[in-house]
Structure 1
């Protein structure tokens, strides 16, 4: 591995595009999903026989055994002009003896196969998003792009599969149950504590605004803006476990990177125009937008969430 084509792994049965998992390929979801130009995600995990992952902490990826494969499919429903589902790519992370490896597969137009790709590819996509037609040049990641976001302390690491993100209910073929409990039942995980400090769905308005914002920033930004990552030189610590401290969210912190705007702080309470975080999320200028990879359009709902939060911050910066 990696194989030249996705079908060689035999993760799915029947027509490949239906993504119908075979025995022991287990679907999963996370509380808040990374924004990728509104692409929908369908995730699975597979492990070899007679091995399991070891739980460490809420905020850390479990210690997965060699041979584990994390499977993440990116697709759109309601594509134009035929109002059909179109799978763009399937990203794998494969645990090998020397660490995690990336393998990205780009689907053909016939939706019959996905082939290994190590370079960034651009795919013209059009779809209906809640009644609005959207067109963009979707970009699949290169291997270097994958490494940029998935490197912590110089080691390739998964992002989403932390207990804090997995601790939720999921409806399986045999019923609805907690995902971590399901993994234990399937011998994919050794144990879990009674209480887990968990993220929430950032779009769930029944949750507190603070939890929603911290969860959004954790999954969308913390893989670069936390200790040991590519942008840990910036004065922010956006991982969910560290963002209870206001300063770690960038409140009244002066930015380091130059941009064309005149924002004095990363986040300036009740001052959207003076907050660099908002500016960078709300632009498509390649040299200034955040995240710098993984999107080509502005996540409008995410921007609105950050606007609501900034307007709620009562701290007055000097």
Structure 2
């Protein structure tokens, strides 16, 4: 479900009063050295159930989001009064100290939306800190879960298939597995190229959340936008789902497989590339991407698996993303070996 109309409405509401002190957002808690026990300690939301963002807590949507077991995600940016994020071309926005990125995960259960967890990224003086909070059964509070948690959830996916899973809330160290860049925790989602839908960047700049509308050379298509070129859709999916690890400074840099949207070298994208370390993860296949042969490609083999040591991504999902596998299979099938 896309919430761009709500984004624009909340942006206007949040900034229409001009330069005012944020209504209740706890800047001192964001900047402190502590680990707040309750999500409500930050005052990111006006209501106890976490649906009404506070002033300057701005909702946003990604064109193509990271897949997380078909969970709905509700994303928010907080930048303190008097500060602005800096645009860096089509890459990540650069957020000042005191900022926070808030992401709630949930499902429609028994006909009602229900939040499972909320993850926060806090920009403190010594860098970014990632913390997971789990919502109680009453949906009135979310508590810090440093060690993570497994939560049974039954839901219906977009195809109409009912699924029952043990939803995985990551522990504090697992957050680092995806959010580490050159060893430091960093945001991975709010890249300008993935924020172009619905005029979000223009709204952010007009209202002073960012310093300028960035020049976007590589626009990630909106997920499900079948009118966009197949290559762009596939590359956008890889950028959103894989490139936070598979980049030259990421945790999977030793693989030599770099899946950022702007990568231009076919072999770095995996095309006719042999894996650095052969083993169970290769499934006896020779190449990460075998042009024209998705079933013979390691990439599809690993994305279509749930087996530990084979499944990719390694964390963040307990079911196969059928639509993602189908998209990348179509992309590989269309290659003729000269791509």
TM-score (ref. length: structure 1)? 0.91
Q: Which has the higher helix share?
A: 2
* Structure 1 Cα separation of the partners of residues 44 and 74 of structure 2: 13
Normalized per residue, which structure has more strand? 1
Query: 1:157 aligned to 2:186?
Result: yes
CA RMSD in angstroms comes to: 1.6
Distance 2:335 2:38 in 1: 49
Residue 3 of structure 1 deviates from its aligned partner by 1.7
Q: Which residue of 1 aligns with 2:47?
A: 14
Residues 148-157 or 287-296, more deviating:
148-157
Matched, 1:66 2:101: no
Divergent runs of 4+, >3 A: 193-196
CA distance in structure 1 between the aligned counterparts of 2:106 and 2:217, rounded to whole angstroms = 31
Structure 1, unaligned stretches of length 5 or more? 170-177
Match of residue 215, structure 1, among 220, 236, 249: 236
- In the alignment, is residue 255 of structure 1 matched against residue 275 of structure 2? yes
Quote the offset at 1:203 in angstroms.
2.1
Note the C-alpha offset of 1:194: 5.0
1:234-288 alpha-carbon deviations (Å, 9 max, x no partner): 121101111x332222010001232261101000011122100000000000111
Kept in 1: contact 2:104–2:117 (CA 8 A): yes
Q: Is the 8 A contact 2:107 2:115 kept in 1?
A: yes
Match in the other structure for 1:118:
146
Aligned residues: 303
Contact 1:32 1:215 in 2 (8 A): yes
2:161 counterpart of 1:132: yes
1:310 aligns with 2:332: yes
After TM superposition, give the deviation of residue 15 of structure 1 in Å. 4.1
Look up the match of 1:186.
207
Match of 1:300 in 2: 322
Q: How does 1:161-310 map to 2 (within 5 A)?
A: 161-169=190-198, 178-242=199-263, 244-257=264-277, 258-259=279-280, 261-310=283-332
Report what 1:175 is aligned to. Answer: none
Unaligned runs of 5+ in 2: 1-28, 30-34
Going from structure 1 to structure 2, the CA distance change for 1:76 and 1:65 (only over 3 Å counts) comes to: same
Contact 1:164–1:197 (8 Å) recurs in 2: yes
**TM-score, structure 2 normalization:** 0.86
